[in-house]
Amino acid sequence: MKARHHGAGMANDSVIEWMTLTLIPGLGSKTIWQLVTHFGGVQALFSACAEGEKKAANIRPTVFSSLANPAPFRQQAAFYLKNIHDQGGTAVCPDDEAYPQLLQETLTPPPVLYLQGRTELLNSECVAMVGSRAATTYGRRSAFALARALGASGVTVVSGLALGVDSEAHSGALAAEGATIGVLGCGLDVVYPRENRELYAQIRKQGLLVSEYLPGTRPEGFRFPARNRIIAGLSKGVVVVEAARKSGSLITAELALEEGRDVFAVPGQIDSLKSGGTHWLLQQGAKLVQSADDVLTELNSGWKRQRGGGREQSPLVAASMDPEALALLQGVEVYPRPRNELIVSSGLGPAKVTELLLLLELEGLVEILPGDQVRRIG
């Protein structure tokens, strides 16, 4: 267990030292951890290099020179940290109490996490939700509903703020007045994708934004697999909602398995390429998810079934306020059914069925499809 700093000044000093390491060219997260572990701490690393001691670390000459003379990088780090604080953000390193315990237990934790929002969420009960950027209607709806139910149960939903499943996961948690963490593959001050700028602002205000990259860092392809290890590392389990056989979501699932976390998968249509990845995960032993209860029960976390103060309630409660609406709902199946069949089977007139279907649609219980088809979604 690493020593933790308690005073604000000591914490800032420690963060600056870790930030200094990340600013030295040629040092990535894996190498930083190898060096810190080998020398017994960040300060010990700098001291040994300043004294010309290489030991057995086999440090490249250019990197060794920077470690022996870190002052310019330390000044840069202090400058960046001040700007981050001025923008209402903060940064934590593995020596801080605020650094997430689950993430610290992973193979290569980020040396520094840059944060904007509710930092207490870092050590809350987290479940990740990932899936296709080009999600189907089914995938988006499933992600939103599952995240909403998890958020209402007191779970923090973690995702990557991408389009598709990620966006629906964040939105579902927020709709239940729940907690959500967005892990970025760029700097905290870079909104990517631009289409998610409103969601980004909402998470910044009501949830937490997390990045291992300095402000101003642009989104590049290689950063997203690295970001995925943070999504998995923060979470007790990862739910894959919809994913092709070869996708970044499966990378996240594999990272979760490597860290001993639970992996869950939502089944889809057998003829949909978008569900090939989730079906493969199920074949490999991932836990099948039909509702949030499957996740909560499997994790055996003891989380509250209903978070106090949330707006989430069973949609059937709302629908039961009108007995005719409830009776009509019982005749709607998960597979599309023509409206005319519902009119005949219900014994109600066309106008009344249209009125009740509108009520059920507003409650999020049915979906009206092209061709005047109706299906149940709750």
Could you report the per-residue pLDDT of 48-70, keeping only the tens digit for each? 888 876 554 568 888 989 999 99
pLDDT of residue 289: 94
Q: In the structure encoding, which two tokens stand for residue 271, read together?
A: 């003829």
Separation between Cα atoms, residue 69 and residue 74, nearest integer Å: 10
Model confidence at 11: pLDDT above 80? no
pLDDT of residue 10: 54
Residue 320 has a CB neighbour count (10 Å cut-off) of 12
Give the pLDDT band (50/70/90) at residue 248: confident
The residues, any chain, with a CB within 8 Å of residue 251's CB and separated by 6 or more, are 225, 228
**Cβ contact 256:238 at 8 Å:** yes
Residue 141 has a CB neighbour count (10 Å cut-off) of 17
Q: Read off φ and ψ for residue 91, nearest 5 degrees.
A: -140, 145
Model confidence at 6: pLDDT above 60? no
Three-state DSSP string of the chain: CCCCECCHHHHHHHHHHHHHHHHCCCCCHHHHHHHHHHHCCHHHHHHHHHCCCCCCCCCCHHHHHHHHCCHHHHHHHHHHHHHHHHCCCEEECCCECCCCHHHHCCCCCCCCEEEEECHHHHHCCEEEEECCCCCCHHHHHHHHHHHHHHHHCCCEEEECCCCCHHHHHHHHHHHCCCEEEEECCCCCCCCCCHHHHHHHHHHHHHCEEEECCCCCCCCCCCHHHHHHHHHHHCCCEEEECCCCCCCHHHHHHHHHHHCCCEEEECCCCCCCHHHHHHHHHHHCCCEECCCHHHHHHHHCCCCCCCCCCCCCCCHHHHHCCCHHHHHHHCCCCCCCEEHHHHHHHHCCCHHHHHHHHHHHHHCCCEEEECCCEEEECC
Model confidence at 313: pLDDT above 90? no
119-299 to CATH, choices 3.40.50.450, 1.10.150.530, 3.40.50.150, 3.40.50.300:
3.40.50.450
Could you report the per-residue pLDDT of 145-175, keeping only the tens digit for each? 999 999 999 999 999 999 999 999 999 999 9
CA gyration radius, the chain: 24
Model confidence at 368: pLDDT above 80? yes
Lowest mean per-residue pLDDT among 29-33, 307-311, 351-355, 368-372: 307-311
Lowest mean per-residue pLDDT among 50-59, 82-91, 325-334: 50-59
Could you report the per-residue pLDDT of 218-234, keeping only the tens digit for each? 999 889 989 999 999 99
Q: In the structure encoding, which two tokens stand for residue 336, read together?
A: 């599309």
**Cβ contact 366:377 at 8 Å:** yes
pLDDT of residue 267: 94
Give the pLDDT band (50/70/90) at residue 373: confident
**Cβ contact 117:132 at 8 Å:** no
Give the pLDDT band (50/70/90) at residue 333: confident
Separation between Cα atoms, residue 239 and residue 160, nearest integer Å: 13
Residue 370 has a CB neighbour count (10 Å cut-off) of 6
Model confidence at 326: pLDDT above 90? no
Q: Which of 371, 365, 370, 291 is nearest to 328 (CA)?
A: 365
Residue 305 has a CB neighbour count (10 Å cut-off) of 10
Answering whether pTM is above 0.85, one says no
Winning range, highest mean pLDDT, from 2-6, 173-177, 301-305: 173-177
Winning range, highest mean pLDDT, from 10-14, 288-292, 330-334: 288-292
For a pLDDT cut of 70, what percent of the chain falls above it?
Answer: 89
The residues, any chain, with a CB within 8 Å of residue 293's CB and separated by 6 or more, are none
Give the pLDDT band (50/70/90) at residue 246: confident
Q: In the structure encoding, which two tokens stand for residue 152, read together?
A: 């209402």
CA atoms within 13 A of residue 185's CA, in its CB half-sphere = 19
pLDDT of residue 139: 92
Separation between Cα atoms, residue 65 and residue 205, nearest integer Å: 42
pLDDT of residue 378: 56
Give the pLDDT band (50/70/90) at residue 312: very low
Winning range, highest mean pLDDT, from 8-17, 153-162, 244-253: 153-162
pLDDT of residue 7: 44
Model confidence at 358: pLDDT above 70? yes
CA 12 to chain centroid, in Å, comes to 27
Model confidence at 24: pLDDT above 90? yes
Give the pLDDT band (50/70/90) at residue 316: very low
Residue, of 291 and 364, whose pLDDT is higher: 291
At the top level of CATH, which class does the domain 315-376 belong to? mainly alpha
Give the pLDDT band (50/70/90) at residue 300: low
CA 40 to chain centroid, in Å, comes to 32
